[in-house]
């Protein structure tokens, strides 16, 4: 058996199992949900097992509680295939009043058909994402994100071992655990195959009706072309219609909703602090996918081609940074937004913690953008202080460069290859 690669979510999952009767782990397929759940499960039922799928569906209709029989924690893998199992789990937890009875995994948000109760208080939810660079072993983790919130002391200089060519490969490979044991050539095929799977089956399954694979690919390409931007949905639709005049608005949103249900599209909402009038602050969500490899694959690019287009690589780098920040901050209740106003004052990431603390973060692939990024952060901090709002815990520029250090103005410059939990 292959050794288990620890995930940041492990500790949080254990805490949830000690607190709730059931925990559901949601996230894109192939990100490691089942493997992580298996480390804790004492019994397993796999709802996508082709040898048992039909039997399980019939049993769920006749006597769903039978499928829940087994040692605890019992793993119900890809439970969304049999949505009625959700209510059966809720009732079982209500009846036995025990913690850590069930772990449910799902690669898509199920349609509510067959689900009659939210499960609040009985079934807790965790989102799992593709591997961060720290989890996959590429980041040395020498700068702890949680420590930055705990201490205002200057950081100790550190060095990342990730070069720009290596970074281009890591963006293209993505955070899929299955890829780590492969050759570089084979690892790059995984994201490409993921895209094919989305187009040919997953989007249709998530939406409940057959979708055109070519249209899925067209939409993914247009979305990827506008990654980490505030492009309007109308402009993305127009981009698609350049090759498909019959692509309607309703069709567009059907496909978008399916990709959101599959945890592929994970846009970043706008932050609207009371420092400008509401009309001066951008409110549109910023386009993001759950893993940078999906962007690269959708664009039909290779690591070498990515390096030849450094401006676009900078946008993909932001997707990588957002993925890793979401992973590292999860145990702190972290959430990500962005700031952009009509005066072109912007901040790529505003990382909020559940206790109200927050950080202002810019993502700059190379060193040439560091001064500009620092100026944006300092200007936004000054604006916040002028309006007597809570100040950010720290200002940080995430880079693709080698050295971690603190500038004389207090802005921390951290390579993504140094950042960790």
Phi-psi group of 413: left, alpha or beta (phi > 0 → left; psi -120 to 50 → alpha; rest → beta): beta
- Mean pLDDT, rounded, for 48-56: 79
DSSP-derived 3-state class of residue 210:
coil
Position 115 pLDDT exceeds 70? no
Measured CA to CA, the distance from residue 361 to residue 338 in angstroms comes to: 9
- Of 27, 35, 10, the residue nearest 80 (C-alpha): 27
Position 280 pLDDT exceeds 70? yes
Position 23 pLDDT exceeds 70? yes
User: By percentage, how much of the chain surpasses pLDDT 90?
Assistant: 83
- Mean pLDDT, rounded, for 53-75: 86
Quote the pLDDT of residue 119: 67
Dump pLDDT digits (tens) for 323-341.
999 999 999 999 999 999 9
| Residue 118's pLDDT band (cuts 50, 70, 90) | low
Angle subtended by helix axes 213-225 and 249-261, to nearest 10:
80
Quote the pLDDT of residue 117: 57
- Mean pLDDT, rounded, for 391-417: 98
Position 139 pLDDT exceeds 70? yes
- Of 50, 14, 22, the residue nearest 125 (C-alpha): 22
Domains of the chain plus CATH, in order, are 9-127 (3.40.50.300), 143-420 (no CATH)
Q: What is the pTM of this model?
A: 0.95
> Hey, what are 271's tokens?
């932050």
- Mean pLDDT, rounded, for 220-237: 97
Position 107 pLDDT exceeds 80? yes
Quote the pLDDT of residue 41: 98
Higher pLDDT, 115 or 420: 420
| Residue 272's pLDDT band (cuts 50, 70, 90) | very high
Q: Output the DSSP codes for 31-62.
A: SSHHHHHHTT-SEEEETT-TTTHHHHHHHHHH
């Amino acid at each position: 058996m292959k050794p288990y690669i620890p995930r940041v979510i492990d500790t949080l999952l254990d805490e949830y199992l000690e607190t709730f009767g059931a925990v559901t782990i949601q996230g894109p397929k192939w990100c490691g949900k089942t493997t992580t759940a298996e480390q804790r499960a004492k019994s397993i039922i796999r709802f996508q097992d082709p040898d048992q799928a039909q039997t399980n569906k019939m049993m769920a209709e006749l006597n769903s509680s039978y499928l829940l029989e087994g040692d605890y924690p019992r793993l119900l893998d890809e439970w969304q295939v049999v949505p009625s199992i959700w209510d059966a789990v809720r009732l079982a937890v209500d009846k036995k009043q025990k913690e850590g009875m069930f772990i449910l995994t799902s690669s898509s948000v199920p349609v509510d058909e067959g689900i009659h109760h939210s499960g609040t208080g009985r079934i807790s939810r965790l989102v799992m994402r593709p591997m961060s660079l720290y989890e996959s072993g590429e980041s040395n983790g020498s700068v702890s994100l949680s420590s930055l919130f705990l201490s205002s002391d200057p950081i100790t200089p550190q060095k990342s071992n990730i070069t720009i060519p290596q970074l281009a490969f890591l963006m293209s490979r993505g955070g899929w655990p299955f890829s780590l044991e492969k050759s570089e050539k084979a690892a790059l095929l995984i994201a490409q195959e993921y895209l094919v799977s989305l187009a040919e089956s997953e989007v249709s399954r998530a939406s409940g009706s057959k979708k055109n694979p070519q249209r899925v690919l067209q939409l993914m390409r247009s979305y990827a072309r506008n990654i980490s931007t505030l492009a309007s949905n109308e402009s993305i639709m127009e981009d698609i219609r350049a090759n498909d005049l019959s692509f309607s608005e309703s069709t567009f949103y059907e496909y978008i909703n399916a990709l959101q249900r599959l945890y592929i599209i994970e846009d970043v909402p706008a932050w609207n602090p009371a420092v400008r009038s509401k009309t001066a602050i951008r409110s549109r969500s910023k386009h993001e996918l759950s893993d940078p490899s999906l962007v690269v694959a959708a664009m039909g690019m290779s690591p070498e081609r990515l390096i030849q287009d450094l401006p676009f690589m900078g946008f993909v780098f932001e997707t990588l940074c957002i993925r890793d920040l979401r992973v590292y901050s999860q145990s702190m209740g972290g959430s990500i937004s962005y700031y952009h106003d009509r005066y072109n004052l912007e901040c790529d990431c505003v990382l909020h913690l559940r206790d109200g603390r927050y950080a202002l973060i810019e993502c700059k692939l190379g060193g040439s953008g560091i001064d500009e990024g620092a100026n944006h952060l300092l200007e936004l901090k000054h604006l916040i202080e002028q309006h007597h709002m809570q100040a950010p815990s720290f200002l940080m520029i995430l880079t693709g460069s080698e050295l971690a250090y603190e500038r004389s103005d207090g802005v921390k410059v951290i390579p993504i290859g140094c950042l960790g939990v």
